[in-house]
Structure 1
Amino acid sequence: METRLLEYFVAVAQEGGFTRAAERCHAAQSTVSAGIRALESDLGVVLFERDTRRVAQTPTGAAVLPLARELLDQLGRLRDVASDDGVLRGTLRVGTLTNVVAGMRLSSVLGRFQAQHPGVDLQLSPSPTGSAGLARDLADGRIDLAFLGGAPMPLADLEAEPLARSIFVAILPLGHPLGEQDIVPLAELVRLPFIDSPEGFGNRTALDSAIAARGLARRTTIEIADVAQMPLFVAAGLGVAVMPRSLVPSDVVGVDLHPLDTLIEWELLVATRRRPSAAARALRTAVAAEFASD
C-alpha cells in the first residue's frame, strides 16, 4: 500500500471533499480521486459515499481514519529514526493565532530555525477559527505545531508548553464614566455592548467562562477576528472590550486601560501531538527557549 494513498484518504476525510484535499496534498483532483479508488480496491471496502453534492465517510471509512492517521504518524517517526544523522527533514506545518504572535518575535524564531534546518519545509498559516480550530487541526493531523491561547488548562492528546500569561484589562473609550473608578467592576461592565473575538478564540472562551462563573451575562455586538483591532472599535464609541493586556497594541489611542475587579488570565502555549515528529519537537523546544529568555 502506498503511503501517498493514505495521505489522500486522510486529507479527503478531514477536508470533506476532493477539491480541498487535492489543494492540501498539492495534487490534481483526478489524482486524488484515482488514489482513493485504488485504496478502496486494495482494502476491498468503500471508504466514501459520493454524489454530485457531497462526499461523506462510510462507517468503515470513519473506523479506518484514526488508524490511518496513526500509521502516517508512525511512518514519520520511522523516517526520523532511519535518518538519525542530526539533520531534520520533512514538512512542518505550523498554525498560528491571528495577530497574537505577530509581535512576539515569531518571525525571528522561525528564521533561525529555518537557517539551522534547511531540510525542513516550513509552512505557516493563521487560523480564522482561533484556538479551538487550531487544537482540532492539530489533533486531526492537519498541522504539526500550533500556538494556542486561552485560560490555562490541560489539552487532551496534545503536548503543550506555556509561553506567557497575561491579565485581562478593561478597554474603555476616553472619558467613559466607568473609567473614573480605580478598578472597573465586571458586573457593571457587562451592562454595556461588548466588542470581542468570535466564539472559539481563546481570549473569548476565557472571558465567557469568567462571566458565567460570576452568574453574569453580556451582549456582544461586534466580533473581530483580528484582536489588535478591538481597541479601535472601542475608541470609535461602538462598545467596550476586555482583553489580555499583552495583546493590546502599544500605539493604540482613544482608549483607557483599567484593571478589573475579577482576575482573568490568558495563556499562550505552543503545542504538538503527543508523539510529534523530530522537526515539530525541535521547533517547540526552540520557541519555548525563546520565550523563557525574554
Structure 2
Amino acid sequence: MELRQLAHFVAVAEELSFTRAARRMHVVQSGLSATIAALERELGVMLFDRTTRSVELTEPGHDLLGHAREILDAAERAKDSIATVAGGLRGTLRIGMMHSLLPSPVADAIAEFHCERPGVRLRPTTSPHGSTGLVQAVTDNELDLAIAVVPPTLADDVRTTTISSEPMVFACASSHRLSHRRTVRLSELAGETFIDVPAGWGSRSSTDRLFQELGIQRTVEIEIGDVATVLDMVRAGLGVALIARSSAPHLDGLAVIRPRPAPIFTISLVLPKHREPKPAARVVATAILEHMGRRHTGEPSGCGVVSQT
C-alpha cells in the first residue's frame, strides 16, 4: 500500500466522483481508476459502489477512510517537521473559513504568513454546513484549523481561542412596524417572519440557541446562504433578520435595532484537540494571536499587509 494510492482513495472518497478526484489530483481519470482498482485487489475488498450516476463508499471504504487520512496526515507532518528543522515550512495548510468577512487580525495574519512562507500552499475551504461543518472537519482531520463559531455539541472535541465576540442586531425594513424603535425584546419577535442563513451556520446557531433557551418560537421562512442577499430581502420587506454587524457591514436602507437580550456572535480559532497540529498550523495560529494583540496596541502589520478595517 503506497501513500499515492491512499491519497487517490481519499480524493475519490471526498469528491464521490472519479472525474473530480482526478482533476483534484492532477492525473488522468484512467490512471486514478487503475490506482483504486489495484488498491482494492491488494486489500481484497471493494472500496466503492460504482454506478453510471454515482460513487459511494462501501463499509470497508468508510473504515479505510479514517485510517488513510491519519496515515497521510502523519506523513505530511513528518515532512513538515523535517522542513522546519531544515529552516523552512512547506506543504499544504487547510484552513476552514466561514461565508463572511474574516476578522481583520485573521486576514492580516494569513496574508503575512503567505508573504513570509511561500513554500506553504494555503488551501482555504468553506463548508455548506457552515461553522458546524468546519469544526467537524477539524475533528475529522479534513482541515488543519478553522475560523468558526463553535457549537456547544462540538466544543469538547477541539481547542478554541476566541478571536472576536459581538452582540447581534435586529434588522428590518424602514416600513416595518418596529423600525422606529431603539430596542426590542426578543419576545416581541415571536410572530415575525425571519430570513436567515442555513442551520449550522454560526450566526444562525447563536440565534436559534438563544430563542430555544428563552422558550420563544421563531419562524424562519427563507434560508439564504449569503448574508448580503438576506439583507436585500429584508430591505424588500419579505421578512426580518438578526445579524452580526461584522458579517454585514452595509446596512443602508435598513432599520437597525438593539435586541434584548441579544444573541452573541463569537468567532474562534479552532485547532485539533486529539492530534498534534501541523507546524504550519501552529505558526498561523500564533500569528493570528499576535495580530490580535497588535490590533489592541495599534502596532502596524508587517509584510505590507493592510487591515480590512
TM-score by length of 2: 0.85
| Superposed counterparts of 1:218-237, under 5 Å | 218-237=218-237
Whether the 8 Å CA contact 1:98–1:128 is kept in 2: the answer is no
**Alpha-carbon deviations, 1:9-30, whole Å to 9, x = none?**
1222222232232233233222
Structure 1 equivalent of residue 86 of structure 2: 85
Structure 1 equivalent of residue 301 of structure 2: none
Structure 2 equivalent of residue 286 of structure 1: 287
Cα distance in structure 1, aligned partners of 2:56 and 2:17: 8
Give 1:105 shift. Answer: 5.5
Please tell me whether residue 16 in structure 1 is matched to residue 11 in structure 2.
no
Cα distance in structure 1, aligned partners of 2:152 and 2:291: 20
Whether the 8 Å CA contact 1:127–1:133 is kept in 2: the answer is yes
Give 1:154 shift. Answer: 5.2
Give 1:33 shift. Answer: 1.3
Q: Residues 265, 153 of structure 1: CA spacing in aligned structure 2 closer, same or farther, 3 A cutoff?
A: farther
Structure 1 equivalent of residue 272 of structure 2: 273
Instruction: Report the 3-state secondary structure (helix = DSSP H, G, I; strand = E; otherwise coil) of the residue aligned with 2:97.
Output: strand
Amino acid at match of 1:255: L
* Unpaired stretches in structure 1, ≥5 consecutive residues: none
| Superposed counterparts of 1:98-137, under 5 Å | 98-101=99-102, 104=104, 106-137=106-137
Instruction: Report the 3-state secondary structure (helix = DSSP H, G, I; strand = E; otherwise coil) of the residue aligned with 2:22.
Output: helix
Superposition CA RMSD, Å: 2.3
* Unpaired stretches in structure 2, ≥5 consecutive residues: 296-309
Q: Residues 154, 141 of structure 1: CA spacing in aligned structure 2 closer, same or farther, 3 A cutoff?
A: closer
Structure 2 equivalent of residue 245 of structure 1: 245
Give 1:146 shift. Answer: 1.8
**Alpha-carbon deviations, 1:24-56, whole Å to 9, x = none?**
323322222111112222333322222323222
Whether the 8 Å CA contact 1:234–1:241 is kept in 2: the answer is yes
| Superposed counterparts of 1:1-294, under 5 Å | 1-83=1-83, 84-101=85-102, 104=104, 106-149=106-149, 155-174=155-174, 176-249=176-249, 251-274=250-273, 275-294=276-295
Overall identity of the aligned pairs, in %:
37
Higher deviation after alignment, 183-192 or 20-29: 20-29
Instruction: Report the 3-state secondary structure (helix = DSSP H, G, I; strand = E; otherwise coil) of the residue aligned with 2:149.
Output: strand
Amino acid at match of 1:270: L
Instruction: Report the 3-state secondary structure (helix = DSSP H, G, I; strand = E; otherwise coil) of the residue aligned with 1:155.
Output: helix
Q: Residues 70, 150 of structure 1: CA spacing in aligned structure 2 closer, same or farther, 3 A cutoff?
A: closer
**Alpha-carbon deviations, 1:165-205, whole Å to 9, x = none?**
11122112225332444430111113111111112211111
Whether the 8 Å CA contact 2:170–2:258 is kept in 1: the answer is yes
Count of residues in Structure 1 that have an aligned counterpart in Structure 2? 292
**Alpha-carbon deviations, 1:87-132, whole Å to 9, x = none?**
111011222111231x636443322111211111122244343112
Q: Residues 234, 56 of structure 1: CA spacing in aligned structure 2 closer, same or farther, 3 A cutoff?
A: closer
Cα distance in structure 2, aligned partners of 1:29 and 1:155: 40
Whether the 8 Å CA contact 2:97–2:147 is kept in 1: the answer is yes
Amino acid at match of 1:234: V
Q: Residues 107, 27 of structure 1: CA spacing in aligned structure 2 closer, same or farther, 3 A cutoff?
A: farther
